[in-house]
Chain A
Amino acid sequence: MRNILTSKNILITAILLAFFAATQFAISQAILPPFFTLNLMLICIYIILSVSLNLINGFTGQFSIGHAGFMSVGAYFSAIITVKLAPKIAPLIPLADPKPVLLLIGLILGAIIAGLTGFLIGLPTLRLKGDYLAIATLGFGEIVRIVFLNSDYLGRASGLIVPKSASWPWFFFIMVISVIIIKNFVTSTHGRACISIRENEIAAEAMGINTTRYKVMAFSIGALFAGLAGGLYANYMFIIQPMTFGFLKSFDILVMVVLGGMGSITGSIVGAIMMTFISAALADYPQWRLVITAVLLVVMMLFRPQGLLGNKELSLNFLGKKGGRNGAA
């Protein structure tokens, strides 16, 4: 246990808890404007999405642009639990308010099905490299969207109405847990195996790394967390429609990853926060949002092609060497 309880980890936990207490208080007392609250929730969703996409694109070096597809799988399957099957499941839950349990089941199921989808899509497509993989994942995203678009059970183009049951603690803690899990994966020997594939696939294979296994593993874990984010999204936004999860959504997530730095978890977090703020600031001029995103990307590629943080991580190590050895955050 001594390894986990480093001064750095304690400090990070304290900061996170303080931030949570402050925001939770502000939200519950309705001090924060609703628009600001909404964006806090969105930031959590986008952090999960961009960090999980970074696991695939940045760490393992497999260029996927179908992340919104996995997000929609998670969104729809969690909604099936919390909306469609709720009347059947709710009586089985021996609690006065079965909603949180329903939500939990929905989120877990949505994430697992998204992860399984990732596994099934990853097995054949991860043989492809570079542009070809990108095109295949793009195609997957569109297929998922069109399946939902044509499903009577899921409401076709008008989508599903989902009661709002996820609240700020759900968003905040699920985001923190997701980031910790992905960070722990990446900084282990299994993460190093993934990174070695990005660095040099032939050498990785020659050093005894089962590259197919690790590519599929990274892809499935990434898809699983995208599904989790989709579930949170569905249970807060009141309505989910196939068009929400189109190519542009995948592109948004990709921009966050590239902007923050491929191969940097803290970079993805910064990217997600930045892009959400930019979108929010331009909420009154939606036609300018894409223009500004594009300009930002062009400028970025010219002056800092590796992204804001490159493959480095923001860290608290400057606070002293104590305990900085094990955690790389």
Chain B
Amino acid sequence: MELLKTEKLSKVFGGLKAVADFEIYLNQGELVGLIGPNGAGKTTVFNLLTGVYEPSEGVILFEGKNVAGLKPYQVTQRGMARTFQNIRLFSDLSVKDNVKIAYHQHTSYGVASAIFRLPGFYRGEKEFEDKAQELLKIFKLDDKRDEIAKNLPYGEQRRLEIARAMAAQPKLLLLDEPAAGMNPQETHELMEMISWIRKEFNLTILLIEHDMSLVMGVCERIYVLDYGTIIADGAPAEIKANPKVIEAYLGEEVH
């Protein structure tokens, strides 16, 4: 079953066509990679999918319903969560609070319960506390739960960002260069973790990555984006051998 499908998705900034006729599909449970050279429009695609930008044209079907034109929080509430290329944590808040905020959309008590401290408040907060604790344990951050997010080492900040996205309880997880700035050891661990949470939560994942070898290792299918259009798609082995991809990454062969 197709979880996500885009049709003729385009975004124009002034005279620049950042993304043109972008068409992809993701089946339930797939791990798909989106690669491309610098400035190809990968992050723009993410911003279109998650509602940060409104598409100039085209439709985004998520579970068969068009989500193009919805606000980012509405898209997230439908079950699509993301991380950011440049980490965007709530940096002055504790690790635990970062995760709790993402649970907010599934909140179980109202403003009146909060203000008058009705029993619903205590029930709800306990639920938040337990869920956050459980999730942090999965991401091996539970011993740092009270630490301020900005004081975490870089690799753990990346991990916290994924944990926070998971707290939004998504069906589709969009990861924007999750391994950027990580050393090979950290990258390897991260990839193992992504594979694991995918199985554990029955998740569909769309992954942007710069590092070709890394994407080739974990993704089942890969889309290659260059100048805002898809130039190739297929299994990693096919992509590796595709002359168009090699050209986009390394330049044209000199005759």
Q: Which A residues are within 8 Å of any B CB, using their own CB? A: 3-4, 181, 184-185, 188-193, 195-196, 199-200, 202-211, 217, 311, 326
Contacts and interface: CB of A to CB of B under 8 A. Distances in A.
B91 interface: yes
Contacts, number: 107
Please classify how large the interface on chain B is, using the bins under 10, 10 to 19, 20 to 34, 35 or more: 35 or more
A311 B148 CA distance: 13
A185 B114 contact: yes
Contacts of B91: 199-200
Interface of B: 50, 52, 71-73, 76-77, 81-82, 84, 88-93, 97, 100-105, 107, 109, 111, 113-117, 121-122, 124-125, 128, 164-165, 167-168
Contacts of A200: 88-91
B81 A189 contact: no
A191 B111 CA distance: 9
Contacts of A3: 117, 122
Judged by DSSP, the binding face of B is helix
B92 A206 contact: no
A292 B117 CA distance: 41
A206 B72 contact: yes
B115 A4 contact: no
A93 to B, nearest CB: 27
Given A4-B117, A203-B84, A326-B122, 7 more contacts: A188-B121, A199-B92, A204-B101, A207-B76, A207-B81, A209-B73, A217-B111
Judged by DSSP, the binding face of A is helix
Contact of B90 (A184, A188, A199): A199
19 contacts: A3-B122, A188-B121, A189-B125, A195-B90, A196-B93, A199-B92, A203-B89, A204-B101, A205-B72, A206-B52, A206-B72, A207-B73, A207-B76, A207-B81, A207-B101, A207-B165, A208-B73, A217-B111, A326-B122
Nearest to B113: A188
B82 to A, nearest CB: 6
B102 A208 contact: yes
B117 A189 contact: no
Given A184-B117, A200-B90, A202-B52, A208 B76 contact: yes
Nearest to A193: B104
B76 A206 contact: yes
Contacts of A210: 71, 73
A184 B168 contact: no
